Each structure stands twice: as C-alpha cells, then as structure tokens.
Chains A and B, each alone.
Chain A
Amino acid sequence: MTPPILTVTAVEKHYRGTPALRGVSFDLAAGELFGLLGPNGAGKTTLLSVLAGLTDATAGGVTLFGKPFTSRDAEARREIGLATQDLAVYPELTARENLLFFGRLYGLSGSNLKRRTDDMLALAALTDRANHRVDTFSGGMKRRLNLAVALVHDPRLLILDEPTTGVDPQSRNHIFEQVRRLNAAGLTVIYTSHSMEEVQALCPRLAILDHGRVIACDTVANLLRQLPTTARVTTAQAVPETLPGVTGRRRTESGVELDAADGPALFAALRHWPGLEMAALDVVPPTLERVFLKLTGSALRD
C-alpha cells in the first residue's frame, strides 16, 4: 500500500471547553475516495476545518503529504481544495470572475489561469452562464460553482463538505459524476455527508463520526459484513418464537423482520416451517444506516 498522504492522530477540538472532536484518528492513501459520514453536529465540519488549515486542533496532530500540518502552513494549503458546506462565492461577481479571482489568489496567472478557469466552467457545466452574475443562479448551479472554485488551483486533496446540500437531483448526479471522474484521474477526495446513501454509493472506504468520535473506519464491504442477514416476512399469522439462530426480531406493519447470522439456514427454516403461510419473504439489503444503528443504538437520520 502507498504511504498515507494524510494521517490524523488523536485530534481533539474544543469550542470554549465544549468538545466537538474527541480523539479522532484515521489515515488516507493517495488516490482514495474517502467518505466521512455522520449525523448533523457529529463534528464533520470541525474536522474538515482542522484538515484544511482553517483552525488548529486543541490536541493531537495532522500529517499532510508527510509533514506536520497546522493553520500557519500557507504552502501546504496550496495543495488543498475545500468545497465548504456553506456556499462561498461572490454573488455580485460572475461565475468566471469568481474563478479568476480565486485562481489568482493561489498564484495562477496568464494562459494557465485562463485554461483552468475554462476547464472549471466546463466541469461545473456553467460554460454558457460564465458571464452571468452568481446571484442569478439556481441553488444547484451555485453548488457546482462552489465545487469548481475549490478545484481551480488544481489541488492534490479535495475536501467536500456536504456538497449536495440544497440541490436538485440533476445537479446532484452531475456532482457525483464529476467527483468520480476526478478521483479516477488520481485526485484524492474526502467526501463528507450525513446521507448514508450518498457515501455508500460513492466511497469505497469511510469513517463514521458520532459525537466527535470515529465509531467505525473501514471499507463499505467490511462494515456491511458486520451486519446479520435480515429476512422480512410478510404474513397475517404469528411467526413462531422457536425459529433457530434468530438474534433479532422486530414487528412491522405487515409482519416481522428477523435477524440471523446464518441467512441461508433461516430462509430454509422459514420456508419449511409447518403451517406458516407467507405472502412474501424478502432479504433486507444491508445498509450503512443499519451499521450506524447497530453501532450507536440510534437511527442515523435526524
């Protein structure tokens, strides 16, 4: 495995004594598309602020590209692109003016600046609206521009903080596509979201953050493998208590859901149980939401 480009070690962050991050550790290899999943208030934005050099950790450390990284490290910031959770573009400027301005701030100039600006307008699908003021844009267009601005200086690490907040499904798919494409081209990405579908769909590996702690950090496949198989039984009858290997049981509107470590055995037992008439028997697909539920005992959605 390539050496990690980012190592987060026991990072703590307190806001006037109130902890927002409590000992966060994980690392990131070059070229990864890494998910950061957690409910609102879990500390995701706080963690990204530390990673992007906006603020310093109260304790613990961050190593970026092999060197210790703090907020005073201006040169290392050049390698990072952060698409903030709140939109951060000038509404009075046009899309192109925004990109030119931020490009210049990062030291781009001349034909290089022009080329990057044109590329980013294309990436955000805003080429035909390039010279329109941003305050005439829809929410989705602003989000796309926000992403493009984070990329204009060609960073090595892209950090996205809830990049699909307030966008229509079309813009959302566009953003997904671009993130996948950029990652395929070698860009390392941290994708933050409170939506487990998004992270599950996009990120091969992820960390789950809750109350400022990393409660799980693994590949999606490994996390899902922790879950038992769940069978959803649709029936008017009472399902017998004596089924073998059942570890969990929940009543639903139309029947019951049963968990078991050995799925095939449970299905076989149900199908052949004498006198049990079922309208339907389905496998409930494993989801990150259920992983979260299992790990914390509470639902992910707020």
Chain B
Amino acid sequence: MPTLTIALKDLRLLLRDPRSAIILVVMPLVVTLILGLTLGRVFTDKPDSKIRISVVVEDEGLGDEPRAFPDRPWSEILLDDLADTANIRVERIPSREQAARLVERGDRSAVVILGKEFSRRAQRCSFVGGEFKRDPINPLYRDGVKADELGVEFLTNPTQPVGSSVIQQVVQVSLLRVVIPWMIGQAFDLIGTDRFMVKMEEKIPALGIAYRVPGFSKARLGDGIRGGISDFFSEYDFNAKTWSGLTESKRQFSVHGAVAGFGVVPLKLAVQRKPAAAAPTRGENRTVYADPKDVQYQMLVPGTTVTFAFFLLLTVGWLFVAERRHGTLVRLRLAPISRTQIILGKALPCLAVSLFQGFFLLACGKLIFGMTFGSRPELLVPVVVSTSIAAAGLSMLVAGLARTETQVAVYGTLLVIVLAGVSGSLLPRELLPENLRQLSLITPHAWALDAYSQLLNPDVATPQVGRVLTACGVLCLYGVVCLVVSRLVAKLD
C-alpha cells in the first residue's frame, strides 16, 4: 500500500513536469521524423518514391554468330535484373549528351552508361582462359565488379555524392548478379568434358594408369565428378548462368549500405530483390513493402523506441535527485515503511511511464509513419513490456547512485549514449567490429532490437517465436537483477 502511495505520487510529479514528456515521447518522434526524412530523401525521388536508375544504352550486342548463351544482348539482361530489384525504377535516357546535361543540371545525381562494347566484354568474362576461352576478362575484385572493364561508365554529379553512390552500389549489385552466374556456369560446363579430362591427366599422370583398369574410363570419371558436385551442392544449379537459375530463388542477394540509422540498414531493404518477381515464394507469408518510406520506418521506429526507452534513466534520476533536494527523502525514511517499499514505489511509476512510452511510440509508428506490426503483432506486447522492465531496472540502479542533478545529467546521458552506441541502436550492428558485436549483447538494447527485428523487419519471413521470447526473458531478468541490486546499493541517506 505505501508502495502504491509513493508510486501514485511520483506519477503525479512526472505528469506535472513537462521535461519528462519531452525527453521520453516528443524527442523520439522528432528523431524518427528527422532520420526518416534524411534517409527518405536519399532513396526516394518525388513523385515516384522508387529509386530511379537512369541508363543510356549504347551496347551494340553480340552479333549473329551462333552461341549457347545468351540469346539476347547482355545490356537487356542487366536492365531486366535492375527492373526486378525491389524499389528500383529504370529510366532509359536516349543519348549520352542528354544524360550529361541532366547530371550537370543536378536533375540526376548519376547516370549509368552501358558502352558499345558492353555485350562483347560481358561475353568474355570467365574464370578460366587459355585453350578454354580466348581473351578472358575477370572483372571481379575485392569490392565488386570493375565497371570500366565491362565498358560501363557513370556520369556523376559531384555535389550529390550520397545519391550517386547509392546508384553506383545498386548497379554494382546487379552487375554481380549478372556476371557471377555466367562465369560460374561456364566453369562448371567444362567439368567432365574431354578437354577438361585431358587437362586433369596432365596434372595427375597417375590417372593415365587408372584408365587402364577395365570398366573405368575418362568418360565415366568425368560423369562421376559432375554428378558428385551437383549432388553435393544440390541447392544450386551451377550451370544455370543466371542468378535466379543459380540460386533457384532460394537465396537473396543484398547489399549492406553504410547508412547509419537507428538500427536500420534501409539500403539493404531497398536493394533487395522483389520476391514475387524472381519466382513464387514457397508458402512463405511475406509482406511486400512497395514503399521504401514504410520500410525505413519499419525498423527506424523500434530503433528510436529502444534508444529512448533508456532515456528513462534521466527521468528516474531526476525523481531521485528531486526527492533528495526537497528533503522529502528524509521524510520517506522517517515513515514506517521499508527500503524495499521505497524502491518499488519509485520503480512502478517508472515502469508505467516506460510502458506508456513504448506503446505510444509504436502506435505513432503506425499512425504517423505508416509502419506495419508484422505477422505476429501480439508478440510486440511482451517485447515492449520486457524492454520497459529492463529500462526501469537499469534506471533505478543508476539513478539510485546519483546524488546531484549534474551527476544524473552527465553520467546518465553518457551511459545512455554509450549503451545505445555499443548496442547497435545508433549504428547498425552489422557495421560494428566483431568483438564489439559480441560486447553489444551485454546491453539490453541489443536484445530488444533483435526481438523487434524478428517481428517487424520485412527481411524476416517468419518470426522465430522462441528467439523473441528468449530476448524478452533476458530483458526481464536484466531488469529484475538491476532492481534487486539497486535495492541493495541505492543511496537513500
């Protein structure tokens, strides 16, 4: 009962102080909005919100000589791949001159030019050379495809570096998807052929002796190797020469863009291939996010929600310090109530505020930013609740140790920012160094973000309920342990 009395009193104090509302509710909304707009500008071009890739095709094709693959110019294959990429719109510009004018005026941040040689050069791409392939080109290098080796040029506007680098990355990904299956396919076509077997015998002379064994022959060994490899990699068709054939649509290729956001890699989502366009997905309950704006907010909102959940620390710290400054802490200790009751009486309103904050921000995410709650919206409830428990526990622990307003402000803010940074709430965890990524798991943020990501990230087809509930369990445990420790160490005198 005294616990509830203290809790209600603190709740009333919090409601009378607009600072808490600003820190806990208004700030995260503003940050979400600003980040959303900043990131949105990069990926969207009004009036159409898809990323526009402008292309000039000068490609002269491959001529009429007969060949097994492909049956059309390589530039068309590339353009089809681009067009199949989710949230990408391909725009053809008739001439290089017109493209140059558009870029110079800043109307396009970059234009891709597929040169006269594009098809002929793409056709020459190969891992193997010598007697197997004349004049082979290997355009692959550490960071992707050397566009110039394929006769691909980029006209870029230097004043729009972000926009143009996004376009270059998108084209890089498409080039990889076009060139790699072609190169792999040619290499695997060779395996088991006569010419391949002759080459093998040159390397392994003992094979010549083996062939003399009755029933064993060059042809049988060749078939055996080919069969073995395709059994071993049964998920892939290495001979397909196209991306969808190679992966049988089971794998998706994505780029992790180095765009820092609160727990998001929007580029990754933006460049993802349209699942429906590649092949029908097998019984997966996927949501197709047509509007990249939604996709961003989809993870931006949970990111800010988690980060700002821990700003509760400032509010709780303020409650404690105010109690000390007003001398009323002494009165609480004079009253016939226990230390546990005092601590719980403070923890409860903090939890209530945090719960309100969590649900409110998610609701705003839906109403203002148009995010969806995924396929298991009911699982968001335990995630919000357990995140709040962790935030309230940690806040109680830290705030109970602070003695002055300055301590709360300085150490509290520092801790909140460091935790957010380490956890990957500020920078995507994928971009953190390996050891820091491990370290991030000691932060409650990382667990909360993982759970949100399971439920809200469109990348995740079906949320793993076990993983979500484990995260919730870890968060609850975190909060309770912090609360117990704060009961022991809080400075109430």
A, B from the same assembly: yes
Residues of A near any B CB (own CB < 8 A): 52-55, 74-75, 77-78, 80, 82, 84, 86-93, 97, 101-102, 104-107, 149
Contacts A92-B17, A101-B5: A78 and B327 contacting too (C-beta < 8 A)? no
Q: Mark B294-337, 1 if CB is under 8 A from A, else 0.
A: 00000000000000000000000000000000111011111111
Smallest distance from the beta carbon of A139 to chain B beta carbons, Å?
Answer: 14
Residues of B near any A CB (own CB < 8 A): 1-2, 5-6, 9, 12-13, 16-17, 326-328, 330-338, 493
B12, B16, B330, B493 interface centre (most CB from chain A within 10 Å): B330
How far, in angstroms, from A72 to B337 measured CA to CA in the complex? 10
Question: In chain A, what residue has the closest Cβ to B331?
Answer: A88
Is B330's CB under 8 angstroms from A107's CB? Answer: no
Residues of A within 8 A of B1 (CB): 104, 107
Is B16's CB under 8 angstroms from A92's CB? Answer: yes
Is B336's CB under 8 angstroms from A88's CB? Answer: no
Smallest distance from the beta carbon of B329 to chain A beta carbons, Å?
Answer: 8
Residues of B within 8 A of A53 (CB): 334
Contacts A55-B493, A89-B328, A90-B328: A105 and B2 contacting too (C-beta < 8 A)? yes
Residues of B within 8 A of A80 (CB): 334
Is B328's CB under 8 angstroms from A104's CB? Answer: no
Is A93's CB under 8 angstroms from B334's CB? Answer: no
Is A93's CB under 8 angstroms from B330's CB? Answer: no
Question: In chain A, what residue has the closest Cβ to B329?
Answer: A88
Residues of B within 8 A of A88 (CB): 326-328, 330-331
Residues of B within 8 A of A74 (CB): 336-338
The binding surface of chain B is classed by DSSP as helix
Is B327's CB under 8 angstroms from A102's CB? Answer: no
Our pick among A55, A78, A93 for the contact of B12 (Cβ within 8 Å) is: A93
How far, in angstroms, from A89 to B493 measured CA to CA in the complex? 17
Smallest distance from the beta carbon of A197 to chain B beta carbons, Å?
Answer: 26
Is B336's CB under 8 angstroms from A78's CB? Answer: yes
Question: In chain A, what residue has the closest Cβ to B9?
Answer: A101
Is B336's CB under 8 angstroms from A87's CB? Answer: no
Our pick among B6, B12, B16, B326 for the contact of A87 (Cβ within 8 Å) is: B326
Residues of B within 8 A of A82 (CB): 334
Is B493's CB under 8 angstroms from A106's CB? Answer: no
Residues of B within 8 A of A86 (CB): 327, 330
How far, in angstroms, from A107 to B337 measured CA to CA in the complex? 10
How far, in angstroms, from A91 to B327 measured CA to CA in the complex? 11
Residues of B within 8 A of A92 (CB): 13, 16-17
Is B332's CB under 8 angstroms from A105's CB? Answer: yes
Is B334's CB under 8 angstroms from A77's CB? Answer: yes
How far, in angstroms, from A67 to B2 measured CA to CA in the complex? 25
Residues of B within 8 A of A89 (CB): 326-328
Is B12's CB under 8 angstroms from A54's CB? Answer: no
Residues of B within 8 A of A54 (CB): 330, 333-334, 493
How far, in angstroms, from A80 to B335 measured CA to CA in the complex? 9
Is B336's CB under 8 angstroms from A107's CB? Answer: yes
How far, in angstroms, from A88 to B332 measured CA to CA in the complex? 10
Smallest distance from the beta carbon of B9 to chain A beta carbons, Å?
Answer: 5
How far, in angstroms, from A107 to B3 measured CA to CA in the complex? 11
Smallest distance from the beta carbon of A126 to chain B beta carbons, Å?
Answer: 18
Residues of B within 8 A of A90 (CB): 9, 13, 326, 328
Our pick among A84, A93, A97, A104 for the contact of B331 (Cβ within 8 Å) is: A84
How far, in angstroms, from A77 to B337 measured CA to CA in the complex? 9
How far, in angstroms, from A82 to B1 measured CA to CA in the complex? 22
Question: In chain A, what residue has the closest Cβ to B337?
Answer: A105
Residues of A within 8 A of B17 (CB): 92
List 10 A-B pairs, minimum CB-CB distance, nearest first.
Answer: A88-B327, A74-B336, A105-B335, A104-B5, A86-B327, A78-B336, A88-B331, A77-B336, A92-B16, A101-B9
How far, in angstroms, from A82 to B5 measured CA to CA in the complex? 20
Residues of A within 8 A of B334 (CB): 52-54, 77, 80, 82
Question: In chain B, what residue has the closest Cβ to A97?
Answer: B12
How far, in angstroms, from A117 to B328 measured CA to CA in the complex? 18
How far, in angstroms, from A104 to B337 measured CA to CA in the complex? 11
B5, B13, B332 interface centre (most CB from chain A within 10 Å): B5
16 A-B residue pairs with Cβ-Cβ distance under 8 Å, sorted by A, are A54-B330, A74-B336, A74-B337, A74-B338, A77-B334, A80-B334, A84-B330, A84-B331, A87-B327, A88-B326, A89-B326, A89-B327, A90-B328, A92-B17, A105-B335, A106-B335
Residues of B within 8 A of A101 (CB): 5, 9
- Given A54-B493, A89-B327, A107-B1: 20 more A-B contacts, CB < 8 Å: A53-B334, A74-B336, A74-B338, A77-B335, A80-B334, A84-B330, A86-B327, A86-B330, A87-B326, A88-B326, A88-B330, A88-B331, A89-B326, A90-B328, A92-B17, A93-B12, A102-B335, A105-B332, A106-B336, A149-B331
Smallest distance from the beta carbon of B298 to chain A beta carbons, Å?
Answer: 39
Residues of A within 8 A of B328 (CB): 88-90
Smallest distance from the beta carbon of A164 to chain B beta carbons, Å?
Answer: 17
